[in-house]
Amino acid sequence: MILTEKTRRYFGTDGIRGRVGDGAITPEFVLKLGWAVGRVLAKEQHSKVLIGKDTRISGYMFESALQAGLSAAGVDIYLLGPMPTPAIAYLTRTFHAQAGIVISASHNPYYDNGIKFFSGKGTKLSDTIELEIEAMMEQPLETVSSALLGKAHRVDDAAGRYIEFCKSTISSGVDLYNLKLVIDCANGATYHIAPEVFKELGADIIVMGAEPDGLNINQNCGSTEPELLQAAVLEHQADLGLALDGDGDRLIMVDHKGHIVDGDELLFIIARAKQRLGGGQTVIVGTQMSNLGLEHALQRHDMTLHRAQVGDRYVMEKLRETGGIVGGESSGHIICLDKTSTGDGIVAALQVLAEMQETGSSLHELCSPITKYPQRLINIKVNKVIDLANNKEVTAAVEAVEAKLGNEGRVLLRASGTEPVIRVMVEGQDEVLTDQLASELASKIEIILQS
């Protein structure tokens, strides 16, 4: 199967992202972007827009640029400082703001950055709104009169508000006093949030990745590099570990044996918890990358997996379409619509910990119903836009691999929405054959794309 993303000039699957100083990730562009967003999303005089950021050094620069652009459009700005992406979604709702803006490149290295947006309801923007913003970017920047310029305010209690919200997403009868947790904050936006949440709920915590210096976000830590967390869980004989990414919307966990528990397994645990509590939830949303093992485990428990395109915005769209409340990605984006409006790593972790406490099961035991299929993912770097769907040689190569797998596996080929790579994924029952076919397919496609 070959997937393509809808063509937009600036926006990818999760806002606008790239290397600082290149393309759209410059102060000049971001200033104009702030103005355009103000014109499109905040049309009333002195509308309110919130701005938060992760811990990378360029966040200061882009915060100032956005602030200038929004002010020029006559929009009042509320500065949250370093805050997780889901916290900004939550606060946008509770402040009754017209929009929330996040300055973050999520799990990417410090030298990347990006801008993403939430509507006044705390949800990702629709394609239609993003296209309106892109169209506004083509118009000349016109500053409102001095009397109508937007004013800036700093929100000093943003962290406290969000900490209390996170704790409210589990029953007041759940406490974590008998759990030892290792928490990896990825030197990112949760460094001053996550430890407080779990500590206030009574857990014995060991904290990693909570000393951001502007350059070490996601570096050898966090949800994309959990090796040090695995070692720490074993060293401290902890009940489990949890790793967030730089902006706090992804979660990966580690069980007491040091085994990785990814987004598919977390999604299964949370879905089973909803089912056990009598929610009647039978629709679960994953993505094209979700493991077949998840799909089969859900089927055995009378639940159906619906697959969306990769990207939490598309998971959200599928949840709305199907009436589901729980969805997520293998990478650890987990959405619980009965708790919040977007993917939230801390909230997802709390749902898993609550299920452990209420069932008396370990994290390892809660994962046991899933037998995951071997899955091999290979990234091919590209330096130009590739039309995968209409390349006959690429299509033929994919179909040849699908024929060898038959009904015992699948192939997924897609262009990343956040990085200049083509992702090649092969999944099958036989690990050796899966690895072999993935390597062969990636090599063929690389040759085709270079020709």
Q: Judging by DSSP bridges, how do beta strands 152-154 and 326-328 pair with one another?
A: unpaired
Identify the bridge partners of residue 413 per DSSP, sorted by sequence position: 2, 424
CB-based contacts of 423: which residues, under 8 Å, 6+ apart?
A: 377, 378, 379, 380, 412, 413, 414, 415, 416
Sign of the torsion formed by the C-alpha atoms of 116, 121, 126 and 131: negative
Identify which of 47, 98, 93, 55 has the alpha carbon closest to the alpha carbon of residue 71. Answer: 47
- Residue 106 annotated as catalytic: yes
DSSP 157-204: THHHHHHHHHHHTS-TT---TT-EEEEE-TTTTTTTTHHHHHHHTT-E
DSSP string of 412-447, one letter each residue: EEEE-SSSSEEEEEEEES-HHHHHHHHHHHHHHHHH
Place of tokens 């049309």: 43
- In contact, 99 and 115? CB cutoff 8 Å: no
The Cα 287–Cα 309 span in angstroms is 6
Measured in whole angstroms, the distance separating CA 330 from the mean position of its chain's CA atoms is 10
Alpha-carbon torsion angle 343, 348, 351, 357, nearest 10: 180
Work out the number of other CB atoms within 10 angstroms of the CB of residue 371: 12
> Of the listed 47, 71, 106, 330, which one is catalytic?
106
C-beta separation of 277 from 358 below 8 A: no
Considering all CA atoms of the chain, what is the largest pairwise distance in Å, rounded to the nearest integer? 69
Place of tokens 């009169």: 145
What whole-number distance in Å separates Cα of residue 273 and Cα of residue 220? 32
* CA 225-227-233 angle, 5° bins: 125
Assigned token pair, 237: 């004989």
Report the b/e string of 65-87 with b at 16+ CB within 10 A: bbbbbbbbbbbbbbbbbbbbbbb
Edge-to-edge order in the sheet of strand 152-154: 16-19, 112-119, 99-103, 48-53, 76-82, 152-154
Calpha distance 141→61 (Å, rounded): 20
Residue 339's nearest CA partner among 273, 415, 427 is: 273
Q: Which residues are marked as active site?
A: 106
